[in-house]
Chains A and B, each alone.
Chain A
Amino acid sequence: MFNFSDPTVLLTWLLSAIIFLPAVGALILCLAPRESDASTKRFSLFITLAVFALTVWLAIPGGRVGNFNFSQPGMQSIVNHTWIPAFGINYMLGIDGISLPLVLLTSFLSVLAMWASWPITKSVRAYCALFLLLETGMLGVFLALDFFLFYVFWEVMLLPMYFLIGIWGGPRREYAAIKFFLFTLVGSVLLLVAMLMLYFASDVSKLSQAQQVASNLIGHGTKHTFNLLALMQLGQMPDSPFHQTLLWGQSLSWWAFVLLLIGFIIKLPSVPVHTWLPDAHVEAPTPISMILAGVLLKMGGYGVLRVCYPVCPDAGYHLAWLVSGLGTVSMVYGALAAMAQKDFKRLVAYSSVSHMGYVLLGIGAWSATAGTSYDPNYWNMAMNGAMFQMIAHGISSAGMFFLVGVVYERVHHRDLDKFGGLFARMPVYAGISMVIFFAALGLPGLCGFIGEFFVVVGTWAYCKWLAVVAASVVVLTAGYILWTIQRVYLGPEYKGPHADALTPMTRREIAIAAPLVAFALLLGVYPQALFKYTEPTIGKTVVQKLTDWAQASPKATGHDVTEGRSQ
């Protein structure tokens, strides 16, 4: 266990350290004698920084243990140990081009959010402990490859969030917290049901020896498995055990897909299950809003990409219209709702609904069999665009919430009609805000553009009308963002209370915003920096496999060309 010359042991410790270092930090905070608030925050910041350093190590290409290997599109750095052998539950972690960017985003935003927590004064120790516990949950979700473990981390992240909103939030914090909790809990329950359905339908004996090795199954002698890689293999088999009919003529795979999808789109969030988001954001303290928008929403998209589609491809194929339709509706609906908001933070929250719609659309636009030409490239583009959008939105929305927080701390209100003239009073702040807001607007050269453009352009091959509706959102987005900029930053004078408090940004605030600006620029100018990680994985392990699957099972996809009839 402590033989560090063994690479597997080292890897286990490395990945476990990434996940559990924050939890250990939280434990130390609970047990350690009471220190000053400042040193508590510094300690927490140090922990998040350490985790960030470890995740950066994962992203560095190279041959050392844990480093990223670009030539391996599939799962790499897999750690697999038995945990509860009686049920075939493993402690299985791994990294690929889908999870790594999200892991990095999580650890990166955790550092910034922790640093943005400096103004928190209420029970700082508890706050920091919960914050660190939350980070453990988030990182665990992205690293887990065992469905059960995934679910455990999913739940671990829920409770700290509830308390962070419910205790440190604004005036309606209790309503917001309970709303967040209940919404997410409903999602979790559906997730649990779907997980158990898949578990009890799974049968590892159906997998060939090579497939078992590929999915890193370690023998417990159990028939069922929670191993996500094995579930994917099972789901994509022509005679998949998930094809059994379950209820109302639909297969188990179909039901599992629907349940998982609902569970994940609550988190994403998509219309019509999005209303927890504006309330949670408005009430949550600034750093928690950053985490909520920057990381938590991505779990929904990650879940759809990692679990829904690969495990239940035929349901995904038949329900592609639903997924992409929901995405498009969210885009339009979120943008329209944002336009009507009077509260700065609520507006940003609705912009998140709109932007995350792109993610759903990009993932759902199953164009790989459009016109039965089996050309996976356009879907690949849309899916990569969706993945890019997740990271880009993580940067721009976290930035926007932080920037809202900066003024809120000074003037203690968020009424959009009572701002104005901030450009003259806080020039650096206004400049940074412009960049971040333009990134959200999808201005080329900044990160928002690439995701939106690739998703929308990639969608045309799937459905022209959907693509046209999606493209029209650029007008609405420009409308609400520019209108906001006008109301807050431009104009002759500041119209709200506490005008004297509008001091320029502090060094700490600039230092938090600057990396976000830098990444918005970097990803906008050189998106390959991210695509280099995501494209091989999404292209080869998701899109190509599902396209092959569609080609191999024409009956399932309704494109049975050889008989000349559509099923």
Chain B
Amino acid sequence: MDLNVLLPRLLALAWLLPLCSFALIVFFGPRMGRAGRYAAHVATTAIIAACVLSFASLGLWLTQHPVGAAHGAHAAAVPPHINGDWYSLGEFGSLRVTIGYYIDALTLCMFCMVTLVASCIHVYSAGYMHGELHDVFDTFGPTEEGRMIRRRGRYYRFFQCLSLFCFSMLGLVLAGNVAMVFVFWELVGICSYLLIGFWHERKSASNAANKAFIVNRVGDFGMIVGLMAVWTGMGTFSFGDYKVTKADGTVAMAPGIFSQVRPAANEHKLQIPDGMVKSAVGSQASNVLVGKSDAKAVAVAAQDIRDLSAPQKLKDWRSQGLGYGLLVIAGLGIFCGCVGKSAQVPLHVWLPDAMEGPTPVSALIHAATMVAAGVYLVGRFYPVFTPEVLMVIACIGCATLFIAATVALTATDIKRVLAYSTVSQLGFMMLALGLGGWLAGMLHLFTHAFFKSLLFLCSGSVIHACGTNEMPSMGGLRRKMPITAMTMLIGCLAIAGAGIPATVIGFSGFYSKDSIIAQDLSFWAANPRLGGWFFYAALFGAGLTAFYMFRLWYMTFAGNPRDGHVYYHAHESPSSMTVPLMILAVLAAVGAWNIPFTGGLGLQSLLQQAQPAGIADGVSGGLYWSSIAMPAQHLAHEHANAIKAEWAAFGVALVGFLLATVFYGLRKLDPADVTRAFPRLYRFLFRKWMFDELYSYCLVRPMLKISDWVAAVDRRGIDWLVDGSARAIEGIARVDDWFDRIFIDRAVNVAARWTYALGMRLRTIETGNVRQYVLWLVVATVGLFVLMSFFWSYAIAG
């Protein structure tokens, strides 16, 4: 079968299998064995099958698009991809919102990574969550009176949510248009919400879940704005070119987002899409017309509007930069969503709290996949970003990696250290992408997924053994849990970027982190004025990474036990948990290596193949900030630059490692002395730069206050008016009633009385005297005739 048909079907199957598993567990979960024991089997089978399908798809892909083919000569061409639509959500004239797919090497790599990591985590969870198989006596969720509660186990529900998450995440990766990305963006968000709040009896867990979702929604708000700009400016959400059926039945290709922003005719260089130009011209002209300033401007505007329907002046307008603002808004908006999802400053506050969820969830969602989705989207949407937007991305990434790394220094909760480390590493990725290092950033996404999920699972193994998250009560655990200790050490080495400089031997983090530092360095060379900041911040962050990771390892595994009770009960985890650790440890070590005897096949070359067209030579020529230039990526890999970066990275990592060893490994120095020396700084870092306090005082409370006001306006304002007017009308009715009774009724009564009195008087006439009656009769008759003579005189006469 044709690959263009087969691959979408295979990936769709891999995508839908977890959904089937979800549906099965929703309906039959509680009946799957005791406490839903077999739900784990269903979910794990589904994800492993998806993993097999993903790797099979990748293999099939490579038969047609071998790596290296697009290298060099065709680097500027559009990377090979398959895209299309399955069905549409809505069609309005030429506008179509669809559910479709966009498959290239990046999609396939993401599929393989997500399903592989998820498979490991599913297997691991089956062991980790076994406590949920029977009734749970939850010591963390006391009632208000402090009474502990006993509840049913929720084993199957965990796997139900996990399956839903896998489906959503794969959908996000497979999405053929940015609206579909948004759909699954929200779905992974809700899965994250459900899993963070898995132990929802705990107030802290449900608070963290709410926080995660609402903070993400703030990012999504920005993303919707970006979507609107894309939609109205380009008339499509589709990444790739798509087929349209015209009115006369012929099928033609319409340009997707990538082709509109970087058309082949323009050698894939950034250009303002026609729709955005026209939209800007239209609104500018309308403003002139409404303003009616001077006759000449009005005439020009009117001519512009006439030209809109046949845009012969498109080139002129474009060279004036009309519509560039829309392009920037589109880029910034989409990035805003990524800030939320990838926990970048200032929306990073939800991720550390998200550690309330079970540890496998932290590993899968809040380390390897979902939080990396923001980075993935930046990578996917890369062709649309202008240099200004990339600069913003770099600054946000830089701030994030620095802030998070400093906070990680002081955290004592083992998972929180890892959480801040995740935030910091995501900052590294954003920084790399922002400075033009597409490959470096995307590579770090993958290597980070391997070593961070490994680190989280190791921490889960430790927590499982110790029953606590607090590192100060651990120590010496390497003797009790050798496998966990070894695998975690591999993870630490990988994240620290351990490797031998000037060779290609190193852990996976070595490749990605060094290429990020190299990109920073080459950016500095291209932009001497501000490049240094990024370089030193990244270097400092890399040093801190090594420090806090080894601090974590030493505090947990090295030295002597600090809490005898904890140590006594600690034990190595069952094989269902250690086997995934070992698999992930291997990946963390060799994930970025090329596979031997395949002619350079590996993660790096695969990603290289997926690199968007037109960005290899860097991104420059911003209209608002024209001096910024993102350097070409190959410059970073040039020997002089790369060697410098590698030695610098190696140096700072070594310093970090040695400091950690001195403080926590050998305990030659006491870290408490340092905290005593800088109490203010320590408190500031320990309270996480006060972001939570800031948001609580500046955003949440004012918002609740405003909502109280609004409710009060309804009650005391509008309803007061309504009730008041009702009362006023009631009052008028009372007055009316009173008027009736006092005046009208009285007048009627008086009239009645008078009539009665008159009647009584007239009664005296009726005497019974016949003579008197005859007299009245005669008088009346004569009187009548006299009266008639006045009116009918003519008639009688005539």
Is chain B found bound to chain A in the same assembly?
Answer: yes
Which A residues are closer than 8 A to B by beta carbons? 179, 182-183, 272, 275, 278, 333, 336-341, 370-373, 376-378, 380-381, 384, 421, 423-424, 438, 443-445, 449-450, 453-454, 456-457, 459-461, 464, 467-468, 471-472, 474-475, 478-479, 482-483, 486, 489-493, 495, 526-528, 531, 535, 539, 559, 561, 563-566
Among A338, A444, A490, A526, point to the contact of B187 (Cβ < 8 A): A444
Distance in angstroms from A274 CB to nearest chain B CB is 8
B706 at the interface (CB under 8 A from A): yes
A471 with B228: CB separation less than 8 A = yes
A443 with B206: CB separation less than 8 A = no
A384 with B92: CB separation less than 8 A = yes
CA distance A468 to B718 in the complex (A): 27
Query: With A424-B152, A474-B224 in contact, is A373–B278 under 8 Å at CB?
Result: yes
A456 with B228: CB separation less than 8 A = yes
B93 with A475: CB separation less than 8 A = no
B711 with A564: CB separation less than 8 A = no
Total contacts A-B at CB 8 Å = 186
Contact partners of A535 in chain B: CB under 8 A: 90-92
B500 at the interface (CB under 8 A from A): no
- What are 30 inter-chain pairs, A to B, with CB distance below 8 A? A272-B718, A275-B722, A338-B707, A339-B703, A370-B282, A371-B279, A371-B283, A371-B308, A377-B92, A378-B92, A424-B201, A444-B187, A450-B90, A454-B97, A456-B224, A457-B227, A467-B228, A475-B218, A489-B200, A491-B200, A491-B201, A491-B203, A491-B206, A492-B202, A528-B87, A535-B90, A539-B92, A563-B302, A565-B298, A566-B289
Interface centre among B143, B149, B186 (most CB of A within 10 A): B186
CA distance A459 to B231 in the complex (A): 11
B89 with A561: CB separation less than 8 A = no
Among B190, B298, B707, point to the contact of A336 (Cβ < 8 A): B707
A527 with B89: CB separation less than 8 A = yes
Contact partners of B143 in chain A: CB under 8 A: 492-493
CA distance A423 to B154 in the complex (A): 12
Contact partners of B200 in chain A: CB under 8 A: 423, 489-491
Contact partners of B718 in chain A: CB under 8 A: 272, 275
CA distance A366 to B285 in the complex (A): 18
CA distance A566 to B703 in the complex (A): 42
Distance in angstroms from B634 CB to nearest chain A CB is 39
CA distance A468 to B739 in the complex (A): 57
B732 at the interface (CB under 8 A from A): no
Q: Chain A at the B interface: mostly helix, strand, loop or mixed? A: helix
Nearest A-chain residue to B180, judged by Cβ: A444
Nearest B-chain residue to A487, judged by Cβ: B206
Among B94, B152, B214, B706, point to the contact of A475 (Cβ < 8 A): B214
Contact partners of B186 in chain A: CB under 8 A: 443-444, 449
Query: With A475-B218, A565-B298 in contact, is A372–B282 under 8 Å at CB?
Result: yes
Contact partners of B88 in chain A: CB under 8 A: 528
Contact partners of A454 in chain B: CB under 8 A: 90, 97
Contact partners of B87 in chain A: CB under 8 A: 526, 528
Which residues of B293-321 have CB atoms within 8 Å of chain A's CB atoms? Answer: 298-299, 301-303, 305-306, 308-309
Interface centre among A182, A423, A468, A490 (most CB of B within 10 A): A490
The 9 closest A-B pairs by CB, nearest first: A371-B282, A564-B302, A340-B711, A460-B228, A444-B183, A339-B707, A377-B93, A566-B289, A490-B200
Among A275, A373, A479, A565, point to the contact of B214 (Cβ < 8 A): A479
Query: With A378-B95, A443-B186, A456-B224 in contact, is A482–B308 under 8 Å at CB?
Result: no
Distance in angstroms from B565 CB to nearest chain A CB is 26
A531 with B91: CB separation less than 8 A = yes
CA distance A424 to B227 in the complex (A): 39
Distance in angstroms from A457 CB to nearest chain B CB is 5
CA distance A445 to B164 in the complex (A): 12
A443 with B210: CB separation less than 8 A = no
Among A424, A438, A482, point to the contact of B210 (Cβ < 8 A): A482
Contact partners of B149 in chain A: CB under 8 A: 492-493
Q: Given contacts A340-B711, A478-B213, could you give 15 more A-B pairs where the C-beta distance is less than 8 Å?
A: A336-B710, A339-B704, A340-B708, A373-B308, A384-B92, A424-B151, A443-B187, A450-B89, A464-B228, A471-B228, A478-B217, A486-B210, A528-B91, A539-B93, A565-B289
B228 with A457: CB separation less than 8 A = yes
B704 with A340: CB separation less than 8 A = yes
B289 with A492: CB separation less than 8 A = no
Nearest A-chain residue to B718, judged by Cβ: A275
Among B92, B93, B183, B719, point to the contact of A445 (Cβ < 8 A): B183
Which residues of B720-757 have CB atoms within 8 Å of chain A's CB atoms? Answer: 722, 726
Distance in angstroms from B431 CB to nearest chain A CB is 27
B214 with A340: CB separation less than 8 A = no
Among A438, A474, A493, A564, point to the contact of B190 (Cβ < 8 A): A438
CA distance A370 to B280 in the complex (A): 11
A445 with B278: CB separation less than 8 A = no
Query: With A474-B217, A492-B142, A566-B292 in contact, is A443–B302 under 8 Å at CB?
Result: no
Distance in angstroms from A456 CB to nearest chain B CB is 6
Distance in angstroms from A195 CB to nearest chain B CB is 25
Distance in angstroms from B417 CB to nearest chain A CB is 28
B45 at the interface (CB under 8 A from A): no
CA distance A482 to B227 in the complex (A): 25
Among B225, B232, B285, B722, point to the contact of A378 (Cβ < 8 A): B232
Contact partners of B206 in chain A: CB under 8 A: 486, 490-491
A371 with B278: CB separation less than 8 A = yes
B298 with A564: CB separation less than 8 A = yes
A564 with B89: CB separation less than 8 A = no
Distance in angstroms from A394 CB to nearest chain B CB is 18
A472 with B221: CB separation less than 8 A = yes
B670 at the interface (CB under 8 A from A): no
